[in-house]
Structures are given as C-alpha cells and as structure tokens.
Amino acid sequence: MTQGILTKHIGLNTFLRIIGVEGTGGIIKNIIRSGSVKVNGESETRNKRKLHAGDVVEYLGKKYAVEEKLIR
C-alpha cells in the first residue's frame, strides 16, 4: 500500500495515524517504543522519526511506502 504525504517529511507517529492505526497518541507511542514498527526493514523505537520519500514502514505484516511524487 502507498501513502502520500504533503510535506518534505512526516513523523512516524503521525504517519501511523494516517494509515489507520487506532488509539491515542500515548498508545501509538507505546506501539512504536515496543519495536513493533519497522522503517526500511529495521525496528524503529523513535516516536517522531522523520519519514521521507522512499521510506517503507512495516506494521502488523503490512508495508506502506512513502512516494516522492506526492511530496510538495
């Protein structure tokens, strides 16, 4: 699945909300800190990790690509 963003970068926590992860900011922060989220194949525990075009986020076995053509 591909998810577009309208800025040069977006925080991982915000991106997870965009792709539909349910919960409050605290719940999403705990999901990230638990190591359940991967960015470019590696576990990521930084809540506000900046994502850029070409990054791939993996959560619950699904991969989400950030496309450059949608960045303005």
pLDDT less than 50: residues of the chain: 70-72
Residues 12/32, Cβ–Cβ less than 8 Å: yes
The type of residue at 65 is: A
Domain positions in the chain? 2-70
Beta bridge pairs of residue 10: 51
CB atoms within 10 A of CB 56: 13
Q: What is the fold, at CATH topology level, of the domain defined by 2-70?
A: 3.10.290
Task: Kindly list the distances between the CA atom of residue 63 and the CA atoms of 26, 66, 72, in Å, as whole numbers in the listed order.
Answer: 23, 10, 23
Q: What is the pLDDT of residues 11-29, one digit of tens each?
A: 999 999 988 998 898 999 9
